[in-house]
Amino acid sequence: MEGKAWKFGDHIDTDLIIAARYLNTSEPEELAKHIMEDADPDFVSKMQVGDIIVAGENFGCGSSREHAPIALKVAGISAIIAPTFARIFYRNSFNMGLPIFELPEASEIAEGDSVRIDMDSGEIINQTDGKRYKFTPIPAFMQELVDAGGLIAYAQQEISEAKDE
Amino acid sequence: MGQTITEKIFSEHAGKTVYAGEIVRVSIDMTIGNDITTPISIKAFEQSRAKELANPDAFAIVMDHYIPAKDIASANQAKISREFAYKHDLKYFFDEKDMGIEHALLPEKGLVIPGDVIIGADSHTCTHGALGAFATGMGSTDISFSIITGGNWFKVPESIRVSLLGKPGKHIYGKDVILELIRILGVDGALYKAIEFVGDGVEYLDMSDRFSMCNMAIEAGAKSGIFAVDATSKAYLDERAQANGGLRSNPKLHYSDSDANYCREITIDMASLSPVIAYPFLPSNGKSVEQAVADDIKIDQVMIGSCTNGRIEDLRIAAEFVKGKRVARHTRMIVTPATQQIFLQAQKEGLMEILIGAGAVVSNPTCGACLGGYMGILGDGERCVATTNRNFVGRMGARTSEIYLANSAIAAASAIAGKIVDPR
């Protein structure tokens, strides 16, 4: 993953990520047109596919709406980096395959910096200033879910195992 | 080593003794979805190879956000849940015929049982902890996993013990206590934690107070909020059992051990607490009502309702303050009873006449206004005092609008004055 950084502050709630006025549909493409609208009304027109959001503490707090990570992913945001994530958003992102990374030093990255995420080395590299950071590894149990292809794939595995018995 | 009530609920479900930090896979007693989150769960359900739900009687769909449909898109979205409910013959499908906001409706129906593990695709699912259950919000895919497999995985949370002392003064409610706690903790101060309410002051809090306190545990980032069952909650459960021909199942009562482990201790002296108002744009932005009065805050709208404070007690308080008076000329007042039963009860008690007589508009039960959906949207620069749970940017409408979160007494008294006033 590699993209340009867009900076947001602390406590970005899911109403800012996708406002409830658009939740009369769950069509991903429709939702994707309105991401971050109340935080920055021009965001959708400014961002490019592959860009990365770099935010402050507690990203994704508030409503449990899974529409939030879905909309970000479908809009083309390739990853989110923040020191901490709200609990439900963290879990939702894994469940629907939006890559998110906990990085205590996230505030050192500036808007417009070119950021690369190296999954093999567990590093986030700021290509603009050359700094390298280790991101917080995900919990082992969640890695199992990721390896299975996500939560629903994990459930499918269980269903077919049960049938084989 | 002693256990918290939350560790005990998980131990009972896991069939072994577990403590905070352990990952457990447990059965779910009740899974909840609503009209805007369930369609995503249904899509995931259909993508899996599941043909039927693991336990159809443990899944409730409550149509409460944009129902009755506010537009064509909402109507089409609602069809997805309706068709699923009919196809799978769901016993607990609540639509226009039996309307209510999920977190008010399910306890009222006797479907929330002490000792349950409850998850819902709605962040305010934590409300149900007021009845001694573990209840938490999750996303739609997790809800799907739960209805496919009958269970889900959890990291057993650490607990913050909040000791409530003394008897709250006049017009101090559970809402003030929880806004004070969120002010202390911040919006992420309880991230991943359970908030357990204890102390000699608990006996002064009725179920309405306790529901609104657990409801807003999420606003401090918490996984759950919980009160152990006592005489007040037992009486509530008895009344619910009588009204519904019994409860869904038998309560399982758990109590924290005296040597249980807590990650943090907080004490709130309710006797000396002033009403708390959360200023825009975070629920942790609590100020005293005295401060708000000094700030001379003129308001365009008052909203009394939501899963936080739309109960009969809230309507009674509102009626007390507007009786024989008139909502200020430049202000409007919206009252949204949280369930149809509350609506009927208010009618019976003569509250509707008082509220409507004072110039309030009373709507059907819906989450609508609270989340900026419909039935009370704010325009550019408008200011609202709301008994709801979130005052984020744009939450109730225009991104330049402002929300002040408060108890129902402040909200109603402020509607008459046209500005924020102290109801005492």
pLDDT single digits (tens) A81-123: 999 999 999 999 999 889 999 999 999 999 999 999 999 999 9
Rounded-to-integer distance, Cα B332 and Cα B19, Å: 50
Q: Please provide the average confidence, as pLDDT, over all residues in chain B.
A: 98
d(CA A147, nearest CA chain B) in Å: 16
Is B48 close to A19, i.e. CB distance below 8 A?
A: no
Rounded-to-integer distance, Cα B107 and Cα B241, Å: 10
Strand partners, B286: B278
Percent of chain B exceeding pLDDT 70 equals 100
Is B141 close to A96, i.e. CB distance below 8 A?
A: yes
> For B301, which DSSP code?
E
Distance of CA B233 to the CA centre of its chain: 16
Q: Are A99 and A84 in contact (CB under 8 A)?
A: no
Mean pLDDT of B201-223: 98
Q: Is the CB of A11 inside 8 Å of chain B's CB atoms?
A: yes
Q: Is the CB of A155 inside 8 Å of chain B's CB atoms?
A: yes
The domain boundary, picked from B218, B241, B268, lies at B268
**ipTM of predicted complex:** 0.95
Residue partners of B274: CB distance under 8 A and separation at least 6 = B172, B176, B288, B289, B290
pLDDT (tens digit per residue) in B252-294:
999 999 999 999 999 999 999 999 999 999 999 999 999 999 9
Q: CATH no. for residue B102? A: 3.30.499.10
Q: How many CB atoms lie within 10 A of CB A7?
A: 15
Q: Name chain A contacts of B40, Cβ cutoff 8 Å.
A: 26, 66-67, 70
Same domain, B236 and B281: no
Same domain, B296 and B245: no
Same domain, B19 and B160: yes
Q: What is the pLDDT of residue A67?
A: 97
pLDDT (tens digit per residue) in A119-137:
999 999 999 999 999 999 8
Q: Residue A23: which pLDDT band, with cuts at 50, 70 and 90?
A: very high
The domain boundary, picked from B268, B296, B312, lies at B268
Question: Among residues 96-155 of chain B, which lie with CB inside 8 Å of chain A?
Answer: 121-123, 125, 137-142, 144-145, 148-149, 153, 155
Q: Residue A32: which pLDDT band, with cuts at 50, 70 and 90?
A: very high
Rounded-to-integer distance, Cα B61 and Cα B252, Å: 24
Select the residue of A11, A38, A139 nearest B399 (Cβ to Cβ): A38
Domain that holds residue B209: 7-268
pLDDT (tens digit per residue) in B385-411:
999 999 999 999 999 999 999 999 999
- How many domains does chain B contain in total? 2
Is B395 close to A39, i.e. CB distance below 8 A?
A: no
Percent of chain B exceeding pLDDT 90 equals 100
Distance of CA B203 to the CA centre of its chain: 20
Same domain, B245 and B347: no
At B404, list the tokens.
Answer: 């002040």
Considering the domain boundaries, does residue B258 fall inside one? yes
Closest listed residue to residue B385, CA positions, set B366, B411, B359: B411
Same domain, B290 and B371: yes
Considering the domain boundaries, does residue B422 fall inside one? no
User: What is the rounded radius of gyration, in angstroms, for the C-alpha atoms of chain A?
Assistant: 16
Mean pLDDT of B62-68: 97
Select the residue of A15, A92, A150 nearest B394 (Cβ to Cβ): A15
Distance of CA B87 to the CA centre of its chain: 29
Domain that holds residue A160: 2-164
Same domain, B64 and B177: yes
Q: What is the pLDDT of residue A142?
A: 86
Same domain, B95 and B209: yes
Q: Name chain A contacts of B65, Cβ cutoff 8 Å.
A: 20, 23
Q: Is the CB of B187 inside 8 Å of chain A's CB atoms?
A: yes
Same domain, B339 and B200: no
Q: Residue A165: which pLDDT band, with cuts at 50, 70 and 90?
A: low
- pLDDT of B100 higher than 80: yes
Is B138 close to A64, i.e. CB distance below 8 A?
A: yes
Scanning the structure block, which residue is given the tokens 């899963």?
B307
How many A-B residue pairs are in contact by the CB < 8 A criterion? Answer: 144
Considering the domain boundaries, does residue B423 fall inside one? no
- How many domains does chain A contain in total? 1
Q: What is the pLDDT of residue A139?
A: 86
Same domain, B79 and B218: yes
Select the residue of A16, A25, A88 nearest B138 (Cβ to Cβ): A88
What does each C-alpha distance from B44 to A95, A128, B384 come to in angstroms?
A: 11, 40, 38
Rounded-to-integer distance, Cα B84 and Cα B79, Å: 8
Is A21 close to B39, i.e. CB distance below 8 A?
A: no
Mean pLDDT of A49-71: 98
Same domain, B85 and B213: yes
- pLDDT of B369 higher than 70: yes
Q: CATH no. for residue A38? A: 3.20.19.10
pLDDT (tens digit per residue) in B213-248:
999 999 999 999 999 999 999 999 999 999 999 999
> For B219, which DSSP code?
G
Same domain, B214 and B149: yes
Q: Is the CB of B71 inside 8 Å of chain A's CB atoms?
A: yes
Select the residue of B23, B65, B121 nearest A64 (Cβ to Cβ): B121
Q: Is the CB of B373 inside 8 Å of chain A's CB atoms?
A: yes
What does each C-alpha distance from A126 to A52, A107, A111, A134, B219 come to in angstroms?
A: 12, 12, 11, 12, 33
What does each C-alpha distance from A127 to A102, A114, B88, B203, B233 come to in angstroms?
A: 18, 5, 53, 59, 58
Same domain, B51 and B173: yes
Rounded-to-integer distance, Cα B420 and Cα A147, Å: 54
At A30, list the tokens.
Answer: 């429709």
At B262, list the tokens.
Answer: 């807590």
Q: Name chain B contacts of A155, Cβ cutoff 8 Å.
A: 48, 50, 144-145, 148-149
Global pTM reads: 0.97
Considering the domain boundaries, does residue B359 fall inside one? yes
